[in-house]
Amino acid sequence: MGSALTEGRKLFTLKAISALFVLSITVFLIGQSNHTAVKIFTVPIQNVANKLMKSKAGGVLRQEKLANLPNKTGAADSNGPEHTTSRNAFALFLTPPHGAGKDSDDLNDDDYFVATRMLVYQLLYDPSTRTNNSYPVVILATQNVAQTKLDRLRNDGPDVRVVGRLALNWGKTRKAWQDVLTKLRLFQLTEFEKVLFLDSDTLLTRPMDGIFEDPAARPTKNKGATAEDEAPEDEGAQPREYIFAGNAGAGRFNHTTTWPPIKGRHLNAGCMVFHPSEELYEYYLRIAGLKDCFDGRFPEQSLWAYAHRRDGNMPWKQMGYMWNINKVTWSDVEHGVASLHVKWWSHMIDPRLKDLAMRIRGRMEGFWEGKESHNILE
Ligand SMILES: *[C@@H]1O[C@H](CO)[C@@H](O)[C@H](O)[C@H]1NC(C)=O
Ligand SMILES: *[C@@H]1O[C@H](CO)[C@@H](O)[C@H](O)[C@H]1NC(C)=O
Ligand SMILES: *[C@@H]1O[C@H](CO)[C@@H](O)[C@H](O)[C@H]1NC(C)=O
């Protein structure tokens, strides 16, 4: 009996060895030949790979492992308003300059970091722009942001959460934008009903609280079948209801002569109101796994533009044009647009916009200097 078992094992080993042999020959052939027959043979293998991506979103999408979204931090000992049970929140995203390299501890040498602090100051403290409903500010930061920066931001009041990075393995994103797909994690902020995301290089001219009541930010029914088996191939189930209010770019910088600015068709992901939803997040991850479904150079913006395409089941909606402008001119400021997307550190911008930014920066720095020296005196 024992020997029969051994015989069986031997036979099994032999079979396994020959199977491996055949497999390696096949793999070799696939690698070497351009012959059509071989190509046809590779198709089913490709399909299996696609299925894997579809179910796990792991084949093409790289996900840094971190314990989900960390719990709230920094709220208890921060200077900010009480972050308790607000329905709505403002959210920002921070990653080190130049993509994934080692971040520096220098708090003044990183324009996006300074811009983030300015926007936090404007959202929480500046009397002319701060929230009039005590809405909290949440910042999602990638793991490679320097600890000194995380500490400084927490001290400024926001709820800073370090999240695992998401990246495409197939995109051609510029190095500086490598981490931007991580912004999809904004949809995991499910303790809030609505979130306003703003790019850090945004200046405010008045409070943003009213944007949550914009008609475009109302819950909307999915237009199509939401069940997995009825959804577009490979994309899987969709939520029955969603909120996605975005803003199209206002043409060029020459929109001064036409008011209101002429809206383009393309979604700009620098200012948007949405309903965070794990279901939608999972849906995005599945789409991210479908190579060439959208433009990998601007991954998060193109992914959202595709998932919420105008002729799809969950079209994005244009918010009121007074809320935000992407390519800012001074005339937008004069017209009273509430938030202005402007890289104020760039050499090419209107000096009046630069002045506006420097006044905000000065107020922000003075505010903290005053507050902190006052705390020392106490
Ligand atoms: C978050 O809090 C829960 C319960 O308080 C705890 O079980 C969990 O480990 C925490 N997660 C992290 C990432 O700290
Ligand atoms: C305060 O917030 C509400 C939105 O909740 C808005 O409608 C209102 O205009 C805001 N007040 C001011 C002074 O901006
Ligand atoms: C702005 O410039 C673009 C070309 O750069 C042109 O197509 C468009 O008509 C101009 N718009 C206005 C309002 O002048």
More confident residue, 251 or 332: 332
Tally helices (H) and strands (E) across the chain. 8, 14
Indicate whether residue 70 lines ligand 1 (CB < 6 A). Answer: yes
Q: Looking at the CA of 208, name the nearest ligand.
A: 2
Indicate whether residue 257 lines ligand 3 (CB < 6 A). Answer: yes
Distance CA 220, CA 242 (A): 5
CB 292, CB 221: distance < 8 Å:
no
CA of residue 72 to ligand 1 center, whole Å: 9
More confident residue, 49 or 217: 217
Atom of ligand 3 nearest to the CA of 257: 13
CB 261, CB 247: distance < 8 Å:
no
For position 198, what pLDDT does the model report?
98
E strands, the chain, are: 61-63, 88-94, 137-142, 159-163, 166-168, 194-198, 202-204, 220-221, 241-242, 244-248, 267-274, 317-318, 324-325, 339-341
CA of residue 211 to ligand 2 center, whole Å: 9
Q: List the beta bridge partners of residue 163.
A: 142
CB neighbours (10 Å) of residue 175? 10
Atom of ligand 3 nearest to the CA of 254: 1
Determine the distance from the C-alpha atom of residue 48 to the mean position of all C-alpha atoms in its chain, rounded to a whole number. 29
CA of residue 210 to ligand 2 center, whole Å: 5
CA of residue 184 to ligand 1 center, whole Å: 22
Distance CA 96, CA 312 (A): 35
Indicate whether residue 163 lines ligand 1 (CB < 6 A). Answer: no
Q: What percent of the chain has pLDDT over 70?
A: 67
Distance CA 64, CA 182 (A): 10
> What does pTM read for this prediction?
0.76
CA of residue 132 to ligand 2 center, whole Å: 6
Shortest-distance Cα residue to atom 7 of ligand 2:
210
Shortest-distance Cα residue to atom 5 of ligand 3:
252
Q: Looking at the CA of 194, name the nearest ligand.
A: 2
CB 266, CB 249: distance < 8 Å:
yes
Shortest-distance Cα residue to atom 4 of ligand 3:
252
Determine the distance from the C-alpha atom of residue 268 to the mean position of all C-alpha atoms in its chain, rounded to a whole number. 12
pLDDT value at 23 more than 50: yes
CB 195, CB 91: distance < 8 Å:
yes
CB 119, CB 197: distance < 8 Å:
no
CA of residue 279 to ligand 1 center, whole Å: 21
- Structural domain boundaries of the chain? 2-61, 66-367
What is the dihedral sign for C-alpha 145, 149, 154, 156? negative
Amino acid, res. 82: E
When the candidates are 3.40.50.970, 1.10.10.10, 3.90.550.10, 3.30.70.420, the CATH number that belongs to 66-367 is 3.90.550.10
More confident residue, 359 or 10: 359
Contacts of 223 (CB under 8 A, 6+ apart): 312, 313, 314, 315
Indicate whether residue 32 lines ligand 3 (CB < 6 A). Answer: no
CA of residue 56 to ligand 2 center, whole Å: 43
For position 212, what pLDDT does the model report?
98
CB 197, CB 298: distance < 8 Å:
no
Q: Looking at the CA of 164, name the nearest ligand.
A: 1
Range 252-266 average pLDDT: 74
Distance CA 115, CA 343 (A): 9
Phi-psi region of 291 (alpha: psi -120 to 50; beta: other; left: phi over 0): beta
For residue 246, report the phi and psi dihedrals to the nearest 5 degrees.
-125, -165
Task: Note the pLDDT tens digit of each residue in 134-177.
Answer: 999 999 999 889 999 999 999 999 999 999 888 766 555 545 45
Task: Note the pLDDT tens digit of each residue in 28-84.
Answer: 444 443 333 333 332 232 333 333 333 333 334 566 654 444 444 433 344 444 445
